[in-house]
Amino acid sequence: MNQARDEQAAGTWPDYRVVARNISRHAEPNIHRDETAKAYGFKRALIAGRALYSHLLHPAAARWGEAWLGRQRSAVRFLQPAYDGDRLTVHVAGAPADDPTALTVAGIANAEGLLLARLESDRPRPFPAPHALALAPAPRDDGTRAPGDWAHLALGQALPAQSWTPRAEDNRAWCAAIGETLPLFLEGEAPPLHPGLLPSATTELLHRFLLIGAWVHVASVFVAHRLVRAGEALELRATPLDKWERAGRQFIQVYVGVLAQGRPCLEEYRTALINLPRKG
């Protein structure tokens, strides 16, 4: 057996290594473009948080597969920027490799050893019920975008719902973009939906219905109530939940519920730093 298989047989976690890729150069927010990122004090374009989240999930998805993907809660915090071409290592520490219900802690670091993001996942008992906002009435899409700036963001006011039917081809395209090779997400006509596609859909929804300038995804909590497969007809519903200031910076939190056949199946609680000050 190779080293990774030997480590799995011994009940430990092999490191997962991957090269960061900028998959968002042409998408909003344009913090993923070099010229914009530099204007806000970064070295160059930022790697999307949803890509780092996907890398952090790889060890648990590889170990436990569908049984884990369909019933778990994951909290991710993005601590430092990652850049295109960074050589990244995901390391899992302090978690039993034979228990998919236990707390799993994973960190992702660059070649210099700088910790860029941290993920904690578990299957709590009792498992949290879906937020009531998942089933709250959504307004009609009238083609406008609501103010998303600090002063005018309407907390508790739902955004229009958005239909979403991710396909197996979307799974494969996402995996190709981030360098994911797990057969779990690549084989068959209805593979499990890759978890990285939910924050991608969240980003698209927010920029369709909210007027937000340059912002940075700093944290999310994801809750999977059941396994979702490619090809399912889904509906996304989003509501701004909260906003606060800390150390002179402004943050917002948005709730996103994903429904299948009218029942919540996935949720994201996203925190973002908004109104970034330009440098110089």
Return the pLDDT at 127: 95
Q: Which of 165, 238, 234, 158 is nearest to 206 (CA)?
A: 238
pLDDT of 174 > 70? The answer is: yes
C-alpha R_g of the chain: 18
pLDDT given at position 99: 78
Cα dihedral 88, 217, 138, 74 sign: positive
Structure tokens at 157: 């006011």
Strands 216-224 and 249-260: unpaired
pLDDT of residue 43: 77
pLDDT score for 24: 65
| Confidence label for 28 from pLDDT (cuts 50, 70 and 90) | low
Query: For the segment 46-89, what is each residue's pLDDT rounded down to a tens digit?
Result: 888 899 999 999 999 999 999 899 999 999 999 999 988 899 99
Q: Mean pLDDT over residues 96-102, rounded? A: 75
Please give the pLDDT value at position 25: 54
Give the confidence band of 1 by pLDDT, cuts at 50, 70, 90: very low
- CA atoms of 106 and 14, how far apart (whole Å): 11
Please check the confidence at residue 7 and state whether its pLDDT lies above 60: no
Whole-number pLDDT of residue 259: 97
Does residue 117 sit in helix, strand or coil? strand
Residues 3-274, CATH architecture: Roll (3.10)
Please report which confidence band the pLDDT of residue 27 belongs to, taking 50, 70 and 90 as the band edges.
low
High-pLDDT (> 90) share of the chain, %: 65
| Average pLDDT, rounded, for the chain | 88
Buried b (16+ CB within 10 A) or exposed e, 203-233: bebbbebbebebbbbbbbbbbbbebbbbebe
pLDDT value at residue 118: 97
Rounded Cα distance between 100 and 57, Å, is 13
High-pLDDT (> 70) share of the chain, %: 90
Q: C-alpha angle 65/93/16, rounded to 5°?
A: 55
Angle of helix 168-178 relative to helix 197-209, nearest 10 degrees, comes to 100
Give residue 5's pLDDT: 42
Please check the confidence at residue 6 and state whether its pLDDT lies above 50.
Answer: no
Mean pLDDT computed over 135-156: 90
Higher pLDDT, residue 45 or 85:
85
Q: Burial of 50 by CB count in 10 Å (0-12 exposed, 13-18 middle, 19+ buried)?
A: buried
> Span 232-237, mean pLDDT?
97
Tokens for 226, please give them: 């059941």
Question: For residue 275, what pLDDT is reported?
Answer: 76
Q: Please name every residue paired with 240 in a beta bridge, in sequence order, or none if there are none.
A: 254
In three-state secondary structure terms, 230 is: coil
Average pLDDT over residues 22-37: 66
Task: Label residue 9 by pLDDT band (50, 70, 90).
Answer: very low
Query: d(Cα 108, Cα 129) in Å, to the nearest integer?
Result: 29
* Residue pLDDT, tens place only, 106-121: 999 999 999 999 999 9
Q: What is the mean pLDDT of residues 219-239?
A: 97
Element (DSSP H or E) covering residue 40: none
Where helices occur in the chain by DSSP H, the ranges are 3-9, 34-39, 49-64, 66-69, 168-178, 183-186, 197-209
What is the mean predicted confidence (pLDDT) over 126-131?
A: 96
- How many Cα atoms sit within 13 Å of 203 on the Cβ side? 23
Q: What is the pLDDT of residue 2?
A: 40
CA dist 280 → 31, 41, 64, 215, 277 (Å): 17, 9, 48, 18, 9
Of residues 160 and 212, more confidently modeled = 160
